Amino acid sequence: MLPTHPMSSGTGSSPSSGVDQGRSFQLELRRILTSRCFHRRLRPAGHMASGPFACQLSALSSRGIAVMNRREALLLLAGTAALPDQLFAVGRAVHKKVRAGTLRALTPQQNETVATIAELIIPKTDTPGAREAGVPAFIDVMLADWGDDDQRQMITAGLANVDERSRTAFGKDFVACTLAQQTEILEDLDYELARLRDTKSDTSKNFFQAMKWLTLTGYYTSEVGATSELHYRVVPGRYEPCYPLAP
């Protein structure tokens, strides 16, 4: 899902700088999503990707769903000095707009489905998972403030399709399925996405591609992801969504 308009980060930046930031974020997101390495097949557990940021993030996105190796993911990211500044800046701005308990784009049922999918992509291990990091609320704000009607429809239709698959296969909604059943459904979606990528088909409106990217962006620009996981130091020594990250 590509952002269609920038939003103010609340730092007093001029409108033009906000537009530039939003465009830079959009270009970086487009570059990553269209990279040939974004949908590589799963590799052996010991494989370490190398290359530019796009390949590192894509390898993180395309590995196994419910058994993502968090330490390996961080090692993949460690090949660069930092995530692109624009990604962090916009991600932190989105987190700042989150209001606890308030949904703006998703229904409660849709939000729970988003949370369940995100937690399967980045599960809780010795550090918090996507749910605890606030990824579902991040996605809701992204849809409300950055998405257009077509993009919101893509996500909501995708969520409905996930439930339809669940009811067909297991006789119940996705959130009511067992972990193994949920994982099976997401693996099917991931396989279908990989097939599209392999045949050079258009994936710009693919629901699962958007969900993986939103989950990763939301997690690694959250307080948990930016401090506990990536070990960034921020001024003045604690996480502040609108403060610049230290070198």
With cut-offs at 50, 70 and 90, classify the pLDDT of residue 236: very low
Please indicate whether residue 27 or residue 125 has the higher confidence score (pLDDT): 125
Average of pLDDT values for 129-133? Answer: 91
With cut-offs at 50, 70 and 90, classify the pLDDT of residue 87: low
Instruction: Show the tokens assigned to 104.
Output: 């703006």
Would the pTM count as exceeding 0.75?
A: no
With cut-offs at 50, 70 and 90, classify the pLDDT of residue 89: low
With cut-offs at 50, 70 and 90, classify the pLDDT of residue 222: confident
Instruction: Show the tokens assigned to 62.
Output: 């395309």
Backbone conformation region of residue 140, classed left if phi is above 0, alpha if psi is from -120 to 50, else beta:
alpha
Q: What pLDDT was estimated at residue 86? A: 58
Alpha helices in the chain (DSSP H): 15-34, 53-62, 70-77, 85-97, 108-121, 135-145, 149-170, 179-198, 207-220, 223
Q: What pLDDT was estimated at residue 162? A: 98
Residues in Cβ contact with 181 at an 8 Å cutoff, skipping those fewer than 6 apart: 166, 169, 170
Asked if residue 44 has a cis previous peptide bond (ω within 30° of 0), the answer is no
Average of pLDDT values for 136-153? Answer: 85
Give the whole-angstrom CA distance, residue 36 versus residue 203. 12
Give the whole-angstrom CA distance, residue 54 versus residue 69. 19
Q: What pLDDT was estimated at residue 24? A: 47
Domain of residue 143: give its range.
Answer: 15-229
Contact 56, 77 (CB under 8 A): yes
Q: Which of 88, 144, 89 is nearest to 114 (CA)?
A: 144
Q: What pLDDT was estimated at residue 118? A: 95
Contact 107, 20 (CB under 8 A): no
Please indicate whether residue 91 or residue 128 has the higher confidence score (pLDDT): 128
Give the whole-angstrom CA distance, residue 213 versus residue 33. 8
Please indicate whether residue 185 or residue 233 has the higher confidence score (pLDDT): 185
CA–centroid distance for 23 within its chain: 18
The answer to whether position 244 is within a domain reads no
Say how many domains are in the chain: 1
The answer to whether position 5 is within a domain reads no
With cut-offs at 50, 70 and 90, classify the pLDDT of residue 128: confident
Amino acid sitting at position 90: V
Give the percent of the chain with pLDDT over 70: 54
| Cβ neighbours of 35 (radius 10 Å) | 18
Give the whole-angstrom CA distance, residue 148 versus residue 1. 10
With cut-offs at 50, 70 and 90, classify the pLDDT of residue 181: very high
pLDDT digits (tens, 9 = 90+) for 195-215: 998 999 888 889 998 898 888
pLDDT digits (tens, 9 = 90+) for 59-83: 444 444 333 344 434 433 333 334 4
The answer to whether position 114 is within a domain reads yes
Amino acid sitting at position 179: L
The answer to whether position 241 is within a domain reads no
The answer to whether position 236 is within a domain reads no
Count of all residues that appear for the chain in the document: 247
